[in-house]
A and B are shown apart, each in its own frame.
Chain A
Amino acid sequence: MTSTDPAATLPEQRSYSETGVSGGLSDVRLAENPEPRCACLLLLDTSASMNGEPIRELNNGLLTFKEELMSDELASKRVEVAVLTFGPPQLVTDFTEATSFQPPTLQASGDTPMGAAVAMGLDRLQGRKRTYDANGITRFRPWVFLITDGAPTDLWGTAAQLVRDGEARGAFSFYAVGVKGANFGILNQIAPPNRPAAQLDGLKFRELFSWLSKSMHAVSRSTPGATVNLSTPGWLTTQS
């Protein structure tokens, strides 16, 4: 049943107009497609209670994040960072490729409108997704990273619902991190049930952002069916 073609099945003669000087496979050109993107949205508490050492370490953490994203060629091209601080809710850095991300120097002041910040951030993330889609840019699942040392001073029920809905749809992976003093009772109602809030050990913001950067390295090169191995977070508190 297996053989070479008998002459009887030959189709009629055709001419091939592209015939020319053949350079073999060196003539094959490779399509230039935009890199797939992995959006990383940072929702950072910059309320007055973060003043002093905490905000300084948070700023150092952002510098570490940039540095370590740049140490990986693929991640530097694929990861897009946005920074939204509260309060008041303010998009300090809109989504930008890691290569052009300028870590902002944040200052602490005001209260903690976490609910509004989460809603505003997720809305912006949705907008970025539309931009990718409109430009034929493929995506990895975005990461949303919330860091706070307090409790929301605004209504946060809607935000919590948006997080749960988005997680359930697979629209993003949401991580909540509480610094000492955070209200974990409320934070765990905002965080998705399958991924409760983590507690930062002291002010290990640099370790936290180093881990986040490594996670982005892993996610931004993952292929279908491959397990994404996240490194052990060295920034978690050992007390529960």
Chain B
Amino acid sequence: MLWGGISLLGAVALATIAFSRGEPLNGTWFVVAAACTYLVAFRFYSAFVAAKVLALDNTRATPAERLEDGRDFVPTNKWVVFGHHFAAIAGPGPLVGPTLAAQFGYLPGTLWLIVGAVLGGCVQDFVILFFSMRRDAKSLGQMAREEIGKRGGMIALLAVLAIMIILLAAVALVVVNALKDSPWGAFTLALTIPIAMLIGVYLRFWRPGRVLEASVLGFALFLLAVWAGQWVSVSPQWAPVFTLSGQGLAIAVIVYGFMASALPVWLLLAPRDYLSAFIKIGVVLALAAGILWVRPVMHMPALTRFVDGSGPVFAGTIFPFCFITIACGAISGFHSLISSGTTPKLLTREGHARMVGYGSMLMESFVGIMAMVAACALEPGVYFAINSPAGVVGQTAEAATATIRGWGFPVDAATMDALARQVGEQTLLNRVGGAPSLAVGMAGIFNSVIGGERLLSLWYHFAIMFEALFILTVLDAGTRVGRFMVQELLGYVWEPLGRRGWYPSILLTSGMIVAAWGYFLYQGVMDPLGGINSLWPLFGIANQLLAAVALVVATTILFKMGRLKLVWVTLVPMAWLVTVTMTASYQKIFHEHPRIGFLAQARMLSEQVAAGAVPAERISAVSQQIFNARLDAIVTGIFALLVLLLLIEAAGEWYAILARKKEIVLRETPYVRTQYAEGD
């Protein structure tokens, strides 16, 4: 009866969202639709996967129990693991992706967030967590090597390294575009470095490990920094110092990334992570409460004209580009690295994997829904004015707003100018990347609850800093892990380079990994189309391909477990992801439209140079653009090739299993009965 009611309510909410055309639609419907679907999916679908597909066994001792050491393997309360896991998987992706995909209208992204998570993302996180737990918390790469073959393991390692580089460049570009020419934002972000260091010293020397009190102190200082930023932004002396161009900010972020990787972890990386996690959970809860309180009306239509691929935010048709733009929030391959990392070492019972793996991803999807609501609550004209690059809409405010009006979305230069002044910025035009428009949307919701118009600028910068902190944490941690991977690879060439603590190796490998993502970041900053048009799809393709890798591994294991009739649980999302990513890869390389296809873009620019249409002083820059477009095509091709190779390798394994040509070896650890009493 109860579940019938929840299902009915969810169906009504989904139908209202799907069939509403023209009449005002309240954001609460999105929350209700998502929450009801998640509840029903968790109650029934995850229970089905747990019982029938994976056969979770609560009498079986987990690695946390068998290998308990008080450090890595620690049997931990289910809700604590849930908190750890959610904090680890939820980054800027579920905020930025839905905001960018809002250019198609609210409907495609919302449906993909809900359906993709329930049938794809949650299943991936859950099954990988379970399989890792059954293998003493082995990593995805180790499982790929053992279950598919050595080549599979190497492909997984290379895929992870490649995705890491593109991911870091893409998220760094979001920060750069959000903070360029913004003295308030740049000042506040700069202050977070000494704040993090102060917390680092506090936690290292004064009160070791007292994370909560240090985080509260850091949060208070952070708020002070946001508050102080407004004085800097109007100061004739200081405003010019912190008004940085895109290139200047990119260089600053690259230098910062190098420092975070090379400095001791306790000094910068860890304290920033604590601060970020603290703010992350607080802001997500506040946004949920704000949406329910304010009940914002959606101004974006259900579908926009840009479903045809001509979108200004990024180019490409709704299929496949909506499904790679929203990766985190629906399905993210990167999660499989977390699910096969720390989390399986903490689970006390096998049954907890369902709440932690499936449930945490539902929460992340919910964050994506909230980002979609915040973005679509903006007037579409304002949304497109913020997110469209000058190369598409025009260089001046008048030209940009005239172009957007021509698309049927009313906006004028005076409105944008007034909004920029209200949020304490010089301009909001050409701020591609999603973060500023999301911050405007969030600030609009927050200031409706507290403060009104006069606090809009503070809320805006608070929201921008929240996103920037998120992203810099990913940048810190990702650069460091990337450094370890490069050290591991170089260790095969010369043993000392493989030592993690050897300083020459630290400096060399930090420099290598930072140079790799820094190159793509700089290329994005210099791109007249705003960079996001190239980098975000690349990131989406890489991330979804990694998800395909994880689902290939999971499907192989299910075949080996003899679940032939139930293998569709992972096989269907895998097939969907392979179709989406291969189509997107093909289009990004070969599409004839220069805004979509990298090779077409290179060809068009080459022809312009050959025809003498490029001024002499621009030839060097255009030549660099041509090189970058070809490089992006090669990188996309490599991603696709890696996954095709893995797929072929796995298909051979599946055939051998089905045709009984090979003895099935399932590399689970043997059954050991738990010593915990029931209900413990």
Q: Are A and B bound to each other?
A: no
